[in-house]
Each structure stands twice: as C-alpha cells, then as structure tokens.
A and B are shown apart, each in its own frame.
Chain A
C-alpha cells in the first residue's frame, strides 16, 4: 500500500510538469494551429529565470572573514546580507519563489516577441515547416543559454523551510515511514492551481470565451469584428508563461541545464498526442496518466518481470493509443488531420 501511494505521488509531480508543458503546447495548437517545437526551450528559459534570480540575489563582495583569526581570510558575502542582515539571508533563501514574479513578465515578453516576430508568419505554412523553424529556434535559444550559463547543471535549491520531507504517511493514518519531499508536494499543488487557473480563465471570462470561439471557428469570429489576432498573441503569451512557471518551479527538483528543454519537449509532445490534439482536458489527463504510469513502471517489482519497461513505457503507451484511438484520448474531430 505504501509503495503504491509513493509511486502515485512520484507520478503526480512528474505528471504535473508534463501536464503544464502539454497544456501550453495544446493552447498554441488549438488557437494558433502552430506546432511549437520551441516550447521545451521555453520551459528551460523558465528554469533559468530561477537561476538568474538566484545569481542576482547572491551577487557578492569579498569581505574579511571574522571567524578566522590566525591570518587574513576573505570570503564572499552577498550584498543583500551586508545591507539587510538576516532579512537579506531570508530573501536569498526564497530565491525560487521570488523568481516567479520575475519570470511572469519575462516570459510574457519572450512569448509576445516570439509570436509577433516569427510565429505570426508561419500560420499559413505547412506543419512540417512550423516544426522545422521552431526546432531551429529551440537550438538557438538553447545555445544562447549555454553561452551565458555554461554546460553544467546549476543547483537551485528550494527555500530551507521546505527542503525536508512531509510525513505523508502519518497524516493519512498509514505508516510513519512514508515521507515525501515538501517541494514536490508544493509543485503538485502549484501545477493544479495553474491548470485550474487556465481553465477558469478560458471558461468564465469574456476573453476566454472569445478565444474558445476563435479556436472552433476563427473566420466567423473575425467577421464579427473581433480582433482575433491580438487575442491569439495574448494566448501565446499565456502558454509561454505556463511553460516558464513550470520551469521555475521545477528548478529545485532538477538542476537546470541548457538541454533540459529538449528532453521534456519530446515527452510532452507524446503527452499531447496521447491526450488528443487540441484538447486541453486531454493534455492534462494524459500528463498525469503518463507520469503515474512511468513511476509505476520504474518499480523494481515491475522491472524484474519486464526489464527496461521504465524507459519505454511512455512511448509504448503512445504507440498503442495512437493505433487504437487515432485521435488520442480526447481528441476533437478535424484538428491536425492533414
């Protein structure tokens, strides 16, 4: 029982990341009809927002180390600590949550510039060309990040207070041995909030209604005198922000490096296809489903029966789903069926 619960939790937080990326991907599919291979790079940019914030907050000055008295020793001390003492230390500790505030405007800007500058010109081109140009863009973004931050993963720790583990087992009345890292629980909650936020936004606001109308029939909406283009730009910006936030919050779980985006991109594309192109619910459901399946497949009991299954389970599921249900789990008719 414990083992099963822990695997479900494991799967849920990984699934949360898949679902967030796939949600953004599906938004751009559904609204703009664009296959964005640079979406993984946006996730990576988000993670590097957290890295930048941490580096910004810990800009240091060389000061004399008072604790060593035998000789003159120097140590690096962040300016924030020098100026504000303990308050500065706390701020540095909270670098990752703070960078959420920083990431939102940055990612919005990146998204809008990208849509207006490049994606806009590719609405009428074939999907193959869209894939190719965004693939090129992903390489460029990735290499720029490598130029500035190097090739090695950069550890970006979560705040101290949540660095431990939560006694999940005790809280649920199960064994005390069942513990789970706080930050992963936070990630799960965070992704749930974002997902519900996006759904609520699309469902209960006028803006969202127009966007949904535009998704199903773009021409009629624009004939009604509504500037669909502008709204779609904003939707692209939102998709970028979602990918970026997914990245920011993932930074403490997986130290960011420049090619983390590519690794997630392939998986999240599979997630989108399994969920069904153009279906937001499908993307979220498939994200969590595949996350959980993957964590079950990596249990030792399963691996001894089917060696290597943990490596290929996601792709295997994708192949089976595509062959049995050609439109994915919840795909709509007529989306991406050229």
Chain B
C-alpha cells in the first residue's frame, strides 16, 4: 500500500515536477510567462536551494556564495570557448571547479564560526571579485566580461566537424538550442534534480546531523561527532549548487562578468532564502519567485503606468498616490525590497513559510481539527 502523504519522497517529487514543468501555464495569468523570467526563476531557485543546505541546516551565514556562482559562469564560458558549445561538459566542469573553490575557501573559513565565519567568507568573496577585475583579466576579461568570439578554437566541435556558420554559435544540448523555452525546460530539469538531492539530504541522517550542528555544536562534539567534515561537505555541496546556477546563467546567455561575484550578489541570495523561509524545503524557492517576479514587474513600472493603474481614483487622490508610490517602483525597486525584507525579519523571522504554516494551523483550529498529524513540514 503506497503512502500518499507528503512524507513520501516520490509524492513530493511528482507534485514538485508537475508544478515546475507546468510553470509556463500557471504563470501566464500573472504576466510572468516569458522564457527569460522563467529561466531566472529556475536558476536562482537552484542557487537558493543550495544556499539553504548550508545556511538553513547548519546555520552558518555565508556572505561569499556569489563567488561560486561567478566561478561557475566563467568555467562554463571557457568550456564553450575551448571545447564545445554543448552544455553538458560546461555544466560538469562548472560544478567541479566551483566545488574545488568551495573546498578551499570552506576549509579555511570553517575554522571559525559565527560572525567570524561570515567575515571570512566575505573577505574571500571580495578578494575573488577584486582579482577577477584586476589581475586575472587574461582569464576573466576584466570589466568587459568574458564573451564568446568567432576566433574561439572549440576543439571538440572542430573535431566532430560541426559546420562553422556565420556569426556566434549558440549553446546547445546535442543539437537542441538552449534559448527560449527549451532553455527554461533544461533549467527546470536541473532544478528538479537539485530539489530531489536537497530533499534527500533534508530527510537523511546526514541532514539531521547538520541540523544538530545548528542547534548545539558543542553537544555534537561531546557526543563524539567530529563536526568539521559535515560542515565542510555541506559547504562544498552548496558551493556546487551555486556553480551549477552560474553555469546555467552562462548556458542561457553565454557571457560572464565579475559583478556576479560582488558581495551584494551574495546578499541577494541571503535575502531570497530568508524571505521565503530559511531551513524549509520550498521556502527559498518561494523567496526567489517573489523577489524575481516583483523585480520584473516593479522595475518596469513608471509614472505613466502608475497613473493607468490608479485611474479609478479621483484625480487629486490619484496624483497623491502616484507621487508616493512612484518612489517605490522602477529605479526605486530596491527601496521596496529593503523595506519588505526588514518587515519579514522583524515580524516573520521564519519567512513566508512561517506565515503559511501559521495560517494552516489557524484554519485547522477553526475547523476543530487536531494539529498533531502535521508531521514534518516542507
């Protein structure tokens, strides 16, 4: 007899895959159904899921994960330049190299905990960023960013006898071009795989040990566990997720720039994770969805668009409302983001997921159902 509750991994994965793969359908009514935005949802989703494995489970707040994202992007573009436009090697290389970076940085940073760990990761991230801009220009192409050129050798493609066409080649998966919706579906499949691995980690003894580190590391040490390998492996895994996300960015748009590695980019993934609900499975994805959706909608709005929105109000009131709100949209979108973020940290430290859980509990109480069968949450 199959257990049809959310405790069954297969059920969760079926629901999740269905939701992700049908995203173009159900995002259509709210105006979010275009490939560019869909790809962003999936890519940042992977980034946030991976970050959540470190921050959500172990409680170590890293301010340097954008480094791995940037490393992934650079590696993928180099793979396009040197070997082949096929995306599979690019992604594999990106994950490996990002993992190596994460291993090195994590090995040093994890010698300290708390805020010292945050500062160490921040220091490494800023170092990589500054170096990518200055000395490493031969590898990173500095401020211009790394791009494809016609002269690139692409040895494997040349050996396989891929015909050289006019203009720049595009990325492909064994012939299938990676742009538009096919790009999204490729990212979506990666997202589903990433989610499955994260689900397995969350529901394994390994995941429990990571949570134990978060709640009381000393006690873990006293019971005879050496916590370092667990922390380091969690750090490397989340770094690999970031590398994968970076590679997918390069797959959908083959260029890489150092600004992806800046510490504000690391701050962004922290924001997404917290906003959605840190330490929950789907929370980070919700956070990504909310931030990227509103970023697209809000930053496209301008004063005249606002006048249209508030057209139903009396003229004087309309002007006042527009005068106030136009500071929060378009260029001022970051203001909304900052304020929203503060509100969440102040009132809902568990993020949107905490709000949802509270709401479900409330409804259950109203309906007179007992809440003790809720089990573990997503």
Q: Is the CB of A133 within 8 A of B263?
A: no
A64-72, A161-169, A184-192, A307-315: which lies at the B interface?
A307-315
Assembled-state Cα–Cα distance A139/B271 (Å): 12
Q: Does B25 contact A (CB under 8 A)?
A: no
Assembled-state Cα–Cα distance A312/B115 (Å): 20
Assembled-state Cα–Cα distance A308/B127 (Å): 10
Number of interface residues of A (CB under 8 A): 41
Q: Is the CB of A270 within 8 A of B338?
A: no
What's the nearest-Cβ distance from chain B to residue A137, in Å? 6
Chain A residues closer than 8 Å to B59, beta-carbon distance: 128
Assembled-state Cα–Cα distance A184/B335 (Å): 34
Chain A residues closer than 8 Å to B345, beta-carbon distance: 129, 132-133, 136
Q: Is the CB of A312 within 8 A of B112?
A: no
How many interface residues does chain B have, given as a range? 35 or more
Assembled-state Cα–Cα distance A62/B361 (Å): 66
A114-140 residues with Cβ-Cβ distance < 8 A to B are: 118, 121, 125, 127-129, 131-133, 135-140
Chain B residues closer than 8 Å to A90, beta-carbon distance: none
Q: Is the CB of B108 within 8 A of A144?
A: no
Indicate with 1 or 0, residue by residue over B325-342, a CB within 8 angstroms of chain A CB atoms: 001000110110111011
A84-137 residues with Cβ-Cβ distance < 8 A to B are: 118, 121, 125, 127-129, 131-133, 135-137
Nearest chain-A residue to B327 (Cβ)?
A: A147
Q: Is the CB of A319 within 8 A of B349?
A: no
Q: Does A326 contact B (CB under 8 A)?
A: yes
Chain B residues closer than 8 Å to A133, beta-carbon distance: 342, 345-346
What's the nearest-Cβ distance from chain B to residue A155, in Å? 22
Chain A residues closer than 8 Å to B227, beta-carbon distance: none
Assembled-state Cα–Cα distance A319/B59 (Å): 21
Assembled-state Cα–Cα distance A323/B178 (Å): 45
Q: Does A143 contact B (CB under 8 A)?
A: yes
Q: Is the CB of A144 within 8 A of B335?
A: yes
Assembled-state Cα–Cα distance A237/B130 (Å): 34
Take A35-B115, A319-B108 as given contacts and tell me if A307 and B341 are in contact as well, using a CB distance cutoff of 8 Å.
no
Q: Does A59 contact B (CB under 8 A)?
A: no
Q: Is the CB of B274 within 8 A of A337?
A: no
Chain A residues closer than 8 Å to B116, beta-carbon distance: 273, 322, 326, 336
Partner of A266, one of B108, B126, B331: B126
Q: Does B221 contact A (CB under 8 A)?
A: no
Nearest chain-A residue to B133 (Cβ)?
A: A311
Indicate with 1 or 0, residue by residue over A309-338, a CB within 8 angstroms of chain B CB atoms: 001100110110011001000000000111
List residues of chain A with CB under 8 Å of any chain B CB: 35, 118, 121, 125, 127-129, 131-133, 135-140, 142-144, 146-147, 262, 266, 269-270, 273, 277, 307-308, 311-312, 315-316, 318-319, 322-323, 326, 336-338
